[in-house]
């Protein structure tokens, strides 16, 4: 089933520009770059965020783009972006970077202007003869590396596993090196399905952090799971050496964004869409999980956060859905094991005492009907969400005799959505989530 004309129109309105709050933002495209800081060799052709532009080959050839304001990461985050790398050359790569760089480095740049060196340093690292401050310090980096730097340079070999890999790098509060001995998690070419990362094809990356665990999804497939915590850090996988955590702004927040670079051979490193949800103030306990994978190859995930200014004070987000498909929120009085319906498990029915209700009362704040944007993030077409996507849970439940959510009550949520494997119209469900108000 396609989105109704009303829903499609509402989603289209959201796509015209970025929607943002202090903790979440969504760029369906980059027709507007409001809220972003661009550093050095960036560009914006045809609603694309070009982190590094072809034609800038040679020394100091790198670019960076940051969300201009720090966002909370300490309680978890979920970010998804589409990227494409193209050009006749092959160098060097791009990275998603989380940082609070306060040490003056390249050209005195820090914070939302930070950048590292070019070529194999991918815009965040530094070369062996550079001062340590030339890299982006106090950072966590997920690099997309499409150029093989193995035993070079002799004085400081990078030791890339191959010419198409994803690797997570950190140096704790110190310098962040692009050498593989600073990797806490890696997916080599085989793990990525021998995908050519620099052939101009659009790929999707999703990064999920829950304190204690960092996950990376590539084209819908989980390719890296590694232990990590912003407070205690992680472990360099090649040496088994522990590496410490990071110094967060105010104990909660960091800058997030992208870096990219080339050396003698240059390519375009483009981001096509980008959504970020910090998960600050996350609430709820998941049940009936993991959710069933949908036609993207991964499950859609339901999460909740505090939003004291709206309705019941709870905000719901759905990520990992099927782009362009319909979705809405359900609420029930019991968390149940699940009944197979279509492609998923419905986890609010079964016992005779179980009841569930649909938030689809059109024209009121009880309408959660919406759909998924290009990044798989649910946007509420009724526009009742104060963050521009997801759903603010109202204090009233739309039963035949309206119920009111009271302090101390526990209610259980799930999202239904359209799923289209092999072009066949069917449906699926997220995980369930129990929330105590």
- pLDDT tens for each residue of 89-114: 667 888 999 999 876 666 556 667 78
Task: With cut-offs at 50, 70 and 90, classify the pLDDT of residue 347.
Answer: very high
Task: With cut-offs at 50, 70 and 90, classify the pLDDT of residue 17.
Answer: very low
The residue-averaged pLDDT of 242-259 equals: 91
Fold classification of 24-277 is Jelly Rolls (2.60.120)
- pLDDT tens for each residue of 306-340: 665 568 888 888 888 898 899 999 999 999 999 99
| 204-218, 373-387, 404-418: least confident range | 373-387
User: What pLDDT is stored for residue 363 in this prediction?
Assistant: 65
Q: Which of 201, 136, 198, 138 is nearest to 165 (CA)?
A: 198
Q: Which tokens is 25 given?
A: 């933002």
Other CB atoms closer than 10 Å to residue 212's CB: what's the count? 12
This prediction has a pTM of 0.63
The residue-averaged pLDDT of 138-155 equals: 82
The upper half-sphere exposure of residue 177, i.e. CA atoms within 13 Å in the direction of its Cβ, equals 21
User: What pLDDT is stored for residue 199 in this prediction?
Assistant: 84
Other CB atoms closer than 10 Å to residue 221's CB: what's the count? 16
- pLDDT tens for each residue of 260-270: 887 767 788 89
Q: Where are the domains of the chain?
A: 24-277, 282-436
User: What pLDDT is stored for residue 415 in this prediction?
Assistant: 96
- pLDDT tens for each residue of 266-287: 788 899 999 888 764 567 888 8
């Amino acid at each position: 089933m396609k989105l109704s004309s009303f829903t499609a129109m509402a989603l289209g309105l959201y796509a015209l520009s970025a929607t943002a709050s202090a903790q979440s933002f969504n760029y369906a495209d980059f027709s507007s770059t409001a809220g972003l800081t661009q550093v050095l060799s960036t560009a914006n052709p045809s609603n694309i965020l070009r982190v590094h532009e072809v034609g800038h080959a040679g020394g100091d050839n790198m670019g960076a783009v940051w969300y201009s304001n720090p966002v909370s990461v300490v309680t978890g985050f979920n970010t998804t972006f589409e990227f494409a790398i193209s050009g006749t050359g092959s160098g060097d790569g791009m990275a998603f970077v989380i940082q609070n760089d306060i040490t003056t480095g390249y050209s005195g740049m820090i914070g939302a202007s930070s950048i590292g060196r070019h070529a194999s340093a991918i815009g965040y690292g530094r070369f062996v003869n550079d001062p340590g401050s030339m890299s982006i310090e106090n950072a966590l980096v997920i690099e997309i590396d499409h150029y093989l730097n193995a035993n070079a340079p002799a004085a400081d070999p990078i030791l890339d596993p191959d010419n198409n890999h994803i690797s997570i790098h950190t140096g704790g509060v110190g310098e962040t090196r692009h050498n593989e001995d600073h990797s806490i998690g890696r997916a080599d070419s085989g793990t990525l399905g021998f995908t050519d990362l620099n052939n101009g094809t659009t790929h999707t990356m999703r990064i999920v952090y829950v304190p204690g665990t960092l996950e990376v999804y590539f084209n819908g497939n989980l390719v890296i799971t590694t232990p990590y915590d912003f407070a205690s850090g992680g472990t360099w996988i090649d040496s088994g050496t522990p590496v410490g955590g990071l110094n967060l702004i105010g104990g909660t927040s960091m800058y997030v964004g992208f870096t990219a670079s080339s050396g003698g051979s240059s390519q375009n490193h483009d981001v096509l869409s980008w959504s970020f949800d910090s998960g600050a103030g996350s609430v709820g306990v998941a049940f009936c999980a993991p959710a069933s994978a949908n036609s993207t190859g991964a499950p859609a995930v339901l999460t909740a956060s505090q939003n004291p200014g709206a309705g019941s004070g709870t905000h719901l987000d759905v990520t990992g859905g099927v782009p362009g498909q319909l979705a809405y929120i359900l609420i029930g009085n019991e968390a149940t094991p699940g009944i197979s319906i279509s492609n998923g498990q419905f986890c609010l029915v079964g016992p005779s005492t179980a009841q569930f209700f649909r938030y689809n009362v059109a024209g009121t704040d009880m309408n959660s009907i919406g759909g998924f944007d290009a990044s798989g993030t649910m946007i509420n077409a009724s526009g009742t969400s104060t963050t521009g996507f997801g759903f603010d849970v109202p204090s009233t439940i739309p039963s035949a005799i309206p119920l009111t959510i009271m302090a101390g009550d526990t209610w259980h949520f799930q999202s239904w959505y359209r799923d289209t494997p092999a072009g066949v119209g069917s449906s699926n469900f997220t995980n369930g989530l129990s929330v105590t108000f």
